[in-house]
Amino acid sequence: MKQNPAICRPMTPNPPEQLQQGDLHLRRWQASDAPALEAAASSSLAELTPWMPWATQGYGATQAQQFLAQTKTWWEAGDAYDYALLLDGQPSGSFGLMRGDDADTLEMGYWLATRATGRG
């Protein structure tokens, strides 16, 4: 049986580094976003913990920096594309596209800071 070559290939072409539609603004995560990521995640642990395995007490600067470094690696390898979800110019959550179990599919995941919910 011949192996499907799509299983090993990165997603192509890469998506744009910024997407904007109306009030929705997604921008590729940057290393300088670490403080805002830490603040958004740590202030939202009560809501995130049941759904996000990484959202635990003690989430701080180190975890934010590690996540941002990992998103850079994934993006450059074509394995996943993670965006900061910006509200009023500030990272207020995350949106990501990653390869699904089937090589021809993508999965998406997202979370919002508690302060960003309820805006429709």
Q: Write the CATH number for 71.
A: 3.40.630.30
pLDDT for position 40:
96
- How many whole angstroms from its chain centre is CA 62? 17
Residue 109, in any domain of the structure: yes
Q: What is the mean pLDDT of residues 87-113?
A: 91
Exposure of 76 in the CB half-sphere (CA atoms within 13 A):
6
* Residue numbers of the domain that contains 74: 23-115
Going by pLDDT thresholds of 50, 70 and 90, the confidence category of residue 66 is very high
Q: What is the mean pLDDT of residues 87-107?
A: 89
Residue 15, in any domain of the structure: no
Residue 48, in any domain of the structure: yes
Lowest-pLDDT range, 6-10, 80-84, 114-118? 6-10
- How many whole angstroms from its chain centre is CA 55? 13
Q: What is the pTM of this model?
A: 0.84
Residue 86, in any domain of the structure: yes
DSSP 41: H
Residue 3, in any domain of the structure: no
The pLDDT of residue 4 is above 50: no
When divided into structural domains, the chain yields a total of: 1
Residue 57, in any domain of the structure: yes
pLDDT for position 118:
87
Report the percent of the chain where pLDDT is more than 90.
Answer: 72
Tokens of 79: 């394995």
> Are the CB atoms for 33 and 86 separated by under 8 Å?
no
Q: What is the mean pLDDT of residues 69-82?
A: 94
> Are the CB atoms for 43 and 114 separated by under 8 Å?
yes
Helix (H, G, I), strand (E, B) or coil at 84: strand
